[in-house]
Amino acid sequence: MSMKRRDFLKIAGISSILSVGAKIAEATHPTWIAGPDPKQLEPNKQALTAKRWAMVVDMKKFRTEADTLKVIDACHRAHNVPDFRTADGKVDKKLEVKWIWQAGYERAFPGQDNKYMSDQLRKMPFLVLCNHCDNPPCVRVCPTQATYKIKGGITMQDMHRCIGCRFCMAGCPYGARSFNWVDPQRAANLDVKKGGKLNTEYPMRTKGVVEKCTFCTERLQNGKMPACVEAAPKGALLFGDLDDPGSEIRKIVTTRYTIRRKPDLGTGPAIYYLIGGSDHA
């Protein structure tokens, strides 16, 4: 085999450049690509765990609208949810972000209303939130796996990975997902310069991502019940393991008549509503 002097010089030159480049890259780039040893990761011991988290909303325990608003406020404060208002002080429906909110009977349970139902029931402010479905359409349509199921049946949202395509919002039959059309830090309740208050233990979001209720995953992992459950009147929101035959919510769901939102869609919602009748057993 013979090689021209010119070719030899070319190869020698390129390989020496590459070796210097590799040295520079080696010296300046992080190398810990493999990440931590699994032994270095340890879940919190006080974390609350369940096979299937679910919630029972006992509408009888919400006496006044103030009770409902208190719950919504507690959730939205805990998670730095922006509260956009128009100039006249009303909620700006175009920019609204909601994790938990209230809806009338016909909105919450369409198809289950009738002409002669009482006004009291029709106008009852039902607390609605993400249903953390067994078979969530949002997870199926998400192109980046930014929304996914975690242990306990919670439908989780990874704001880092969300690209803001809003397929999940089209997929969700409950309207439980909101898009950040503008930087949420512009909302008066989050803008510190305008007297806003932040929960510094939880992040905000940025423009262009979708957000929703996460069943307070961060609180469960630290051994606390969800913010809404803590803020609600005693027994109005019950949170527990539906898979555990001994749990309180399992007993209620078994012994009492509960309804869920749009169960005929086959999504398997995990929020159960108790509407009337006596106090639960």
Partner 1 sequence: MRLYNGGLIITGIVVFLALATFPFTYNIGKANAKPDIKLEPAIKKSEELFGKKQCVEPKEWMRREHMVLLNHWRDAVVRDENRGYLRKDTGARFNMSLQNECMQCHSSKKNFCDQCHNYIAVKPFCWDCHIAPTEKEEAGS
Q: Which of 63, 201, 259, 266 binds partner 1 (CB under 8 A)?
A: 201
Q: Is position 158 an interface residue for partner 1 (rule: CB under 8 A)?
A: yes
Q: Which of 25, 35, 87, 245 binds partner 1 (CB under 8 A)?
A: 35
The kind and range of the H/E element at 147 are strand 147-149
User: Angle CA(259)–CA(263)–CA(265) in degrees, nearest 5?
Assistant: 165
Q: Which of 2, 25, 30, 143 binds partner 1 (CB under 8 A)?
A: 30
Q: Which of 3, 6, 26, 42 binds partner 1 (CB under 8 A)?
A: 42
Is residue 216 within 8 A of residue 226, CB to CB? The reply is: yes
Q: Of 123, 265, 108, 133, nearest to 212 (Cα)?
A: 133
Q: Cα–Cα distance between 222 and 253 in angstroms, integer? A: 27
Interior/surface letters 137-160, b for 16+ CB within 10 angstroms, e for the rest: bbbebbeeebbbeeebbbbbbeee
Tell me the two tokens of residue 60: 């009888």
Q: How far apart are CB 191 and partner 1 at their closest, in Å?
A: 12
Q: Which of 15, 16, 19, 44 binds partner 1 (CB under 8 A)?
A: 44
Q: Which of 37, 88, 119, 264 binds partner 1 (CB under 8 A)?
A: 37
Q: Which of 104, 169, 217, 230 binds partner 1 (CB under 8 A)?
A: 217
Binding segment toward partner 1, per CB under 8 A, in 106-114, 122-130, 131-139, 196-204: 196-204
- Enumerate residues 73-112 that contact partner 1 by CB under 8 A: 80
Q: Is position 205 an interface residue for partner 1 (rule: CB under 8 A)?
A: yes
Listed in sequence order, the DSSP H helices in 62-216 are 65-78, 105-108, 119-122, 137-141, 167-171
Nearer to partner 1, 43 or 111 (CB): 43
Tell me the two tokens of residue 72: 């919504």
The kind and range of the H/E element at 25 are helix 5-28
Nearer to partner 1, 29 or 115 (CB): 29
Q: Is position 151 an interface residue for partner 1 (rule: CB under 8 A)?
A: yes
Is residue 61 within 8 A of residue 233, CB to CB? The reply is: yes
Nearer to partner 1, 173 or 196 (CB): 196
- Look-up of token digits 């949002």: 138
Q: Is position 193 an interface residue for partner 1 (rule: CB under 8 A)?
A: no
Binding segment toward partner 1, per CB under 8 A, in 17-25, 122-130, 136-144, 153-161: 153-161
Q: Is position 204 an interface residue for partner 1 (rule: CB under 8 A)?
A: yes
Tell me the two tokens of residue 243: 């898979």
Q: Of 225, 61, 59, 78, nearest to 127 (Cα)?
A: 59
Q: Cα–Cα distance between 141 and 138 in angstroms, integer? A: 5
Binding site for partner 1 (CB under 8 A): 30-33, 35-37, 39-44, 47, 80, 148, 150-151, 156, 158-160, 198, 200-206, 217, 221-222
